[in-house]
Amino acid sequence: MSELKTKANQISLAEFMAQVPEKKLDDSKRLIALMQDITGLKPVVWGSAIVGFGAYEYQNTGAGGRWFKTGFSPRKQNFSIYIMNGFSEYSELLGKLGKHKLGKSCLYISSLKAIDEVILVELISASFEAMTKKYG
């Protein structure tokens, strides 16, 4: 069983923010504020490139670990916003969101200007609530 390499608090939030490219800095600050308001929790850096909020323990086919309930990463091309319970319940919200792409648990957006921020807040809130209900 291999251990996750990405863990909480591997670097400080200040160190993380110093690495964010200038063109993604304002949106990163805004996402931190939004997620902090939604979750009521302080941001925690996971690895060197993800800001997460909350945490849960999971078990997968003999392996398990600890991961954040929601978060984001300002990747080179897009922001990855983590909707950890997936998107199957959110088709209506996604239809109203604006320009985006989806991965298994990742919502990819180019910037906050490309989407409806109110819908994004609803999506993150619903996902965080579902994760909290499932994992405590």
Predicted local distance difference test score (pLDDT) of residue 1: 42
Beta strands in 12-117 (DSSP E): 44-46, 50-53, 56-60, 63-67, 70-74, 79-83, 101-102, 106-109
Predicted local distance difference test score (pLDDT) of residue 91: 97
Q: Which residues contact 41 (CB under 8 A, 6 or more apart)?
A: 53, 54
Fold designation for 13-135: Aspartate Aminotransferase, domain 1 (3.90.1150)
Distance between CA atoms of residues 92 and 126, nearest Å: 12
Distance between CA atoms of residues 136 and 130, nearest Å: 10
Predicted local distance difference test score (pLDDT) of residue 21: 95
- Sign of the CA dihedral 13, 14, 20, 25? positive
Predicted local distance difference test score (pLDDT) of residue 59: 77
Along the 136 residues of the chain, how does pLDDT read in single tens digits?
455 667 788 789 999 999 999 999 999 999 999 999 999 999 999 998 999 999 998 877 667 788 999 999 999 999 999 999 999 999 999 999 999 999 999 999 999 999 999 999 999 999 999 999 999 8
Predicted local distance difference test score (pLDDT) of residue 58: 81
Distances (CA, A) of 123 to 23, 50, 62, 84, 105: 24, 19, 31, 11, 12
Predicted local distance difference test score (pLDDT) of residue 68: 95
Task: Write out the H or E segment, with its range, that includes residue 36.
Answer: helix 22-39
Domain boundaries defined on the chain: 13-135
Distance between CA atoms of residues 95 and 8, nearest Å: 33
